[in-house]
Amino acid sequence: MTLRFTFDGQEITCPDTSSLAAALTAAGHRAFRDTEQGAQRGIFCGMGVCQDCLVTVDGRPNQRACMTPARDGMTVETQTARPSLTPPAPRDLTPHRMRPTVLVIGGGAGGLSAAIAARESGAEVVLLDERKVPGGQYYKQAAQGDPLDDQQAEGRALVQAARDAGVTILPQTEVWGAFDGPEIMATAPDAVYAIAPKKLIVATGAYERPTMIPGWTLPGVMTVGAAQTLWRSYRTLPGKRVALFGNGPLVTQVALELADGGVDVALLAEAAPHPLRRPLAGADMLRRDRALAVKGLRMLARLRSHKVRPTHDALPRAIRQTDDGLEVTYTVGGQTRTVTADAVCLNYGFQPSNEVLRLLGCDMSYDAGFDHLRVTRAETCETSVPNVYAIGDCCGLGGAPAAVTEGRIAGRAATGSAPLPEDQEELARHRAFQDALWRVYSADLPLPEDAPPDTHICRCEEVTKAQLDAALADDPTDIGALKRATRVGMGRCQGRYCAPAVAGIMARRQCRPLEDLSYFAPRVPIKPVDIAAITAAEALLDPEE
Amino acid sequence: MTDLLIIGGGITGQVAALTAAEAGARVTIVDSQRNAGSHANAGSLHVQMQSRFLRLNPHLAENLESSLPLYLSAVTEWEALDARLGGVELTREGGLMLAENDAQLAFLHEKAERERRKGLDVEILNRDPLHAIAPWLSSRIVGAELCRNEGKLNPLVANRKMRATLDALGVRHVHDRITRVEDGPRPVAHGATDYRADTILIAAAWGAEALTAPLGLSLRTPPEPLHMNITEAGEYQIHHLVQHAERPITLKQFRSGQVVIGGGWDANLASDARHAPTIRKTSLLGNVALAAQIAPGIGGLRVLRTWAGYNTPVDGKATIGPAHPQNRVFLALPGDAGYTLGPVTGRTAAALAMGLEPPIDPAPYAPARWRA
């Protein structure tokens, strides 16, 4: 089935399962909104966190195209920087108060597995997921049609298993607040929720770390995961010619998927040296999980059949828009080269989506290897806050197979069962494999302090490296002072991209170790929240509150 | 060699530093860089009596009313500062205090009469003239008190430009927490190290109580943690500083288009010195829902961020002057609405400390009332 809507008056036809972002991309549109400084922005993260793909939908401003399903008859417009203060049409939001035994936030590999395990005891289990179809970033489900491959089929089976087990799945439900209790506040298209579970399992995953270079905010420059979502979930290619830059196995996998889908892969640039230069780590990977290691080798072989070979030791330096497309200047060793493409994909690792955990006050420690925070957990995956469990990549990167196992452990623990020895052994194996994998892919990535002065450090507030340097000259004591001085981190993404960069810059300047307090103070809402949703949620306050 | 050592780097201490440095003094500001009210402030320039304060502190209403002339001088001081700093997005488009029924309007009539006697430029607007100047208001609002003296500014811009101006004047900034002040011919402030100066000025808001008690003063300065919200940017249409006659709210729009919502909803005190005060769910939901009721035009914008900051009401009246006559330790405490009153308080205190002509008569605000 197809549907029709208009974008700035032009009629667009798309499948009825499409997201607005996919439909607009398929129709050749890359720029969705204008910024305060008159620049244009489009899809960047493709998963609802960067808030750059905003459009006005039926008169309601600032709706994320990547998270909004296309509907027949919609009027979609380019988002202006400052929409008029005209009251939008009222929203009909039903307030719900829930007190399930177990609440799982996130319907990815870990969350689904935790929910299934918790249901085994007969407990009432509610699972929240932001997407219309759960599955998370690893299983990335297709909006329609048959699974593309084994990975999607496995995810579909897991979603089905959760439904069969009797898990209450609330799709398109986004968490915006976490308060002591724990109590979780969330919104859906037709409802608002205040959920006070006995046990909370946080499985919110991770988002991608970009590289900050001039031009990384241009429409058409997106994360590798965003391109993957366009293709795997919506069968939409991000462009005809695509250049991928990154570090780690996801980049190679997505290059192959896009090539299979018909994309001309203009460049696959890997920051790490060739794996043959690290034979020990490679052998270790093979020893820890032969099947996964072999899967990786097969991917490379299939890429070769598309005439794509990864370029190693390669890093992007700047991107600019030309008449012919996006021209990326990159370096390989000491050489400088250029490549031109319609879409440029970036991935330099991941940042845990740990906002809920930080809001609840869970203890964190800094992992220098992955340059992010890891939540402190017991063997049962319980955090330092009683009754709050954390699993998967939101705890610090660990990969989907580990998330599935951690989900089983946490789901059992939350309902009173001890971890199974086989789960613990399996988890140890997954972790050892991840360790070997990232030794193979270890690379010297450029530090944000070395970025050229015109590089945007904060996408949302359009704060450049030069502005940041000027404020750093005043020797701010902490990241909060730097935020107030420059507006870095004050925008819609809540500092998700700039915070890790700025925290690192500050720590290295002050010769201090990174810790939880190095990052912006956690604050509600963890994502911008509609005023109508807050008004509806007010009805959920107890009179004694 | 310090002529004036200022404890507290918020707007009060900064304007004191500016005043003294412009008069040629060598000035040092020592600040602990933790939870300064000025760093959390949302930039309202209050003049009319806030219904929040009258409701929370009815016993201090008389102090507040007697301070109204200080509020008038405070906005004049801010206008001068706006010019001195090269623009801090200050506007003087007036403030509206809204009424939803005849009883609230009657309260505003009576309040306006009291304020007029103190020299404020106030007027009661009935429904039609009100909605003509504020079309984004809900139709449930029947009238308002307009106070033309009120306005707003962008504190982030003001704080940044203030710092640059002080740097250019050679004011020294030290990061330290002062724990004790010793009076004498050459007073000493004790922190990680000792700081000696000809004169010490305490502009430490909620930190003042601990420093002044050993000097024989009985003032109490508990911080009042208050909740704030900010939305995405919209077209600049809300020109007034908006409050309500009976319900706790302030609402205004920055020139940048973002709408700031606050008005005295409570937050939680910080758990320790390294953390900031935290948010209460009840304040977030109640405050934003109330804003959407009175100004439905903001309903298309999303709430981006919330935060909490410390107000220091003291007794609702400023404390300005030497801790003791002939003493070299001075106080500069605005006593509620610290960001509005900070500049006039800081300038007056610095003028007294440096033997200059103060911009206002400081007698009503003398610290004498705190001596046992």
Looking at residue B177, its pLDDT comes to 97
Q: Is residue B241 part of a domain?
A: yes
The answer on pLDDT for A282 being more than 90 is no
Q: What is the CATH number of the domain that holds B212?
A: 3.50.50.60
Q: Is residue B65 part of a domain?
A: no
Instruction: Give the model's confidence band at A396: pLDDT under 50 very low, under 70 low, under 90 confident, else very high.
Output: very high
Q: Which residues of A touch B297 (CB under 8 A)?
A: 85-87
Q: Is residue B54 part of a domain?
A: no
| Closest CA of chain B from A476, distance in Å | 9
Query: Strand, coil or helix: what is A461?
Result: coil
| Binary contact (B286, A541; C-beta < 8 A) | yes
| Closest CA of chain B from A430, distance in Å | 36
Q: How many CB pairs under 8 A join A and B?
A: 128
Q: Which residues of B touch A491 (CB under 8 A)?
A: 304
If you measure CA to CA, which chain B residue comes closest to A544? B282
Looking at the structure, do residues B144 and B217 belong to the same domain, yes or no? no
Q: Which residues of A touch B307 (CB under 8 A)?
A: 523
Q: Is residue B49 part of a domain?
A: no
N-term to C-term CA, chain A: 48
Query: How far apart are the C-alpha atoms of A472 and A494, rounded to whole Å?
Result: 21
Looking at residue A507, its pLDDT comes to 95
Report the pLDDT averaged over residues A321-340. Answer: 97
Looking at the structure, do residues B214 and B250 belong to the same domain, yes or no? no
Q: Mind giving me the DSSP string for B140-189? A: T--EEEEETT-EE--HHHHHHHHHHHHHHTT-EEEE----EEE-SSS-EE
Least confident of A184-193, A284-293, A461-470: A284-293
| Closest CA of chain B from A409, distance in Å | 31
Using CB atoms, which residue from B136, B159, B285 is nearest to A534? Answer: B285
Using CB atoms, which residue from B163, B274, B300 is nearest to A61? Answer: B300
| Closest CA of chain A from B203, distance in Å | 19
Q: Is residue B11 part of a domain?
A: yes
Looking at the structure, do residues B300 and B319 belong to the same domain, yes or no? no
Q: Which residues of B touch A492 (CB under 8 A)?
A: 232, 304
Which residues of B touch chain A, with CB atoms under 8 Å apart? 33, 39, 136, 156, 159-160, 163, 167, 175, 231-238, 256-257, 274-276, 279, 281-282, 284-286, 288-289, 291-293, 296-307
Looking at the structure, do residues B175 and B203 belong to the same domain, yes or no? yes
Looking at residue A293, its pLDDT comes to 87
Looking at residue A12, its pLDDT comes to 98
Single residue among B290, B311, B332 that ends a domain in this structure: B311
If you measure CA to CA, which chain A residue comes closest to B237? A85
Report the pLDDT averaged over residues B144-165. Answer: 96
Report the pLDDT averaged over residues B257-266. Answer: 95
| Binary contact (A474, B163; C-beta < 8 A) | yes
Looking at residue B184, its pLDDT comes to 85
Beta strand A125-128 with A463-464 is: unpaired
The answer on pLDDT for A48 being more than 90 is yes
Instruction: Give the model's confidence band at A449: pLDDT under 50 very low, under 70 low, under 90 confident, else very high.
Output: very high
- Structurally, chain B folds into a number of domains equal to 2
Beta strand B95-99 with B241-244 is: parallel
Instruction: Give the model's confidence band at B74: pLDDT under 50 very low, under 70 low, under 90 confident, else very high.
Output: very high
Looking at the structure, do residues B285 and B169 belong to the same domain, yes or no? no
pLDDT digits (tens, 9 = 90+) for B44-67: 999 999 887 777 778 888 888 888
pLDDT digits (tens, 9 = 90+) for A128-171: 999 999 999 999 999 888 899 999 999 999 999 999 999 999 99
- Inter-residue contact B217 to B330 (CB < 8 Å): no
Looking at the structure, do residues B173 and B34 belong to the same domain, yes or no? yes
| Binary contact (A85, B282; C-beta < 8 A) | no
pLDDT digits (tens, 9 = 90+) for B289-344: 999 999 999 999 999 999 999 999 999 899 999 999 888 999 999 998 999 999 99
Single residue among B269, B296, B311 that ends a domain in this structure: B311
Cα dihedral across residues B56, B62, B63, B64: positive or negative = positive
Helix or strand holding residue B15 (H, E): helix B11-22
The answer on pLDDT for A543 being more than 80 is no
If you measure CA to CA, which chain A residue comes closest to B41? A484
Q: Which residues contact A290 (CB under 8 A, 6 or more apart)?
A: none
Above pLDDT 90, what percent of chain B? Answer: 89
The beta strands (E) that lie in A350-392 are given as 350-352, 364-367, 372-375, 388-390
If you measure CA to CA, which chain B residue comes closest to A522? B278
Looking at the structure, do residues B238 and B299 belong to the same domain, yes or no? yes
If you measure CA to CA, which chain B residue comes closest to A35? B233
Above pLDDT 70, what percent of chain B? Answer: 100
Interfacial A residues in 8-47 facing B (CB < 8 Å): 36
Q: Which residues contact A181 (CB under 8 A, 6 or more apart)?
A: A196
Using CB atoms, which residue from A82, A86, A523 is nearest to B257? Answer: A82
Using CB atoms, which residue from A177, A481, A523 is nearest to B305? Answer: A523
Looking at residue B61, its pLDDT comes to 84
Q: In this complex, is the C-beta atom of A83 within 8 Å of any C-beta atom belonging to chain B?
A: yes
Looking at the structure, do residues B345 and B277 belong to the same domain, yes or no? no
Looking at the structure, do residues B138 and B259 belong to the same domain, yes or no? yes
Looking at the structure, do residues B346 and B293 belong to the same domain, yes or no? no
If you measure CA to CA, which chain B residue comes closest to A523? B306
| Binary contact (B231, A531; C-beta < 8 A) | yes
Q: Report the half-sphere exposure of A383 (CA within 13 A, side-chain side).
A: 28
Give the mean pLDDT of chain A: 96
Q: Which residues contact A151 (CB under 8 A, 6 or more apart)?
A: A138, A139
The answer on pLDDT for B1 being more than 90 is no
Residue of A85, A358, A462 to mutate when probing chain B, most B C-beta within 10 A:
A85
Report the pLDDT averaged over residues A513-539. Answer: 95
pLDDT digits (tens, 9 = 90+) for B89-125: 999 999 999 999 999 999 999 999 999 999 999 999 9
| Binary contact (B285, A82; C-beta < 8 A) | no
Give the mean pLDDT of chain B: 95
Q: What is the CATH number of the domain that holds B112?
A: 3.30.9.10
Looking at the structure, do residues B291 and B231 belong to the same domain, yes or no? yes
Looking at residue A542, its pLDDT comes to 79
Looking at residue B181, its pLDDT comes to 97
pLDDT digits (tens, 9 = 90+) for A231-253: 999 999 999 999 999 999 999 99
Q: Amino acid letter at A192?
A: V
Q: Is residue B72 part of a domain?
A: no
* Nearest partner of A532 among B232, B296, B295, B299, judged by Cα: B299
Q: Which residues contact A370 (CB under 8 A, 6 or more apart)?
A: A349, A350, A396, A397, A438
Looking at the structure, do residues B160 and B201 belong to the same domain, yes or no? yes
Domains and CATH numbers, chain A: 2-78 (3.10.20.440), 94-207+351-414 (3.50.50.60), 210-348 (3.50.50.60), 448-514 (1.10.10.1100)
pLDDT digits (tens, 9 = 90+) for A456-496: 999 999 999 999 999 998 888 899 999 999 999 999 999 99
Q: In this complex, is the C-beta atom of A84 within 8 Å of any C-beta atom belonging to chain B?
A: yes
Q: Which residues of A touch B256 (CB under 8 A)?
A: 36
| Closest CA of chain B from A226, distance in Å | 23
| Binary contact (B233, A494; C-beta < 8 A) | no
Q: In this complex, is the C-beta atom of A537 within 8 Å of any C-beta atom belonging to chain B?
A: yes
Using CB atoms, which residue from B167, B284, B293 is nearest to A524? Answer: B284
If you measure CA to CA, which chain A residue comes closest to B36? A481
Instruction: Give the model's confidence band at A370: pLDDT under 50 very low, under 70 low, under 90 confident, else very high.
Output: very high
Listed in sequence order, the DSSP H helices in A350-497 are: 355-359, 400-414, 421-440, 465-472, 479-486
Looking at residue B321, its pLDDT comes to 97
Report the pLDDT averaged over residues B255-266. Answer: 95
Q: Is residue B55 part of a domain?
A: no
Q: Which residues contact A234 (CB under 8 A, 6 or more apart)?
A: A15, A17, A18, A19, A22, A26, A143
Query: How far apart are the C-alpha atoms of B247 and A254, rounded to whole Å?
Result: 55
Instruction: Give the model's confidence band at A3: pLDDT under 50 very low, under 70 low, under 90 confident, else very high.
Output: very high
Q: Is residue B215 part of a domain?
A: yes
The residue segments making up the domain with residue B23 are 4-39+156-221+315-370
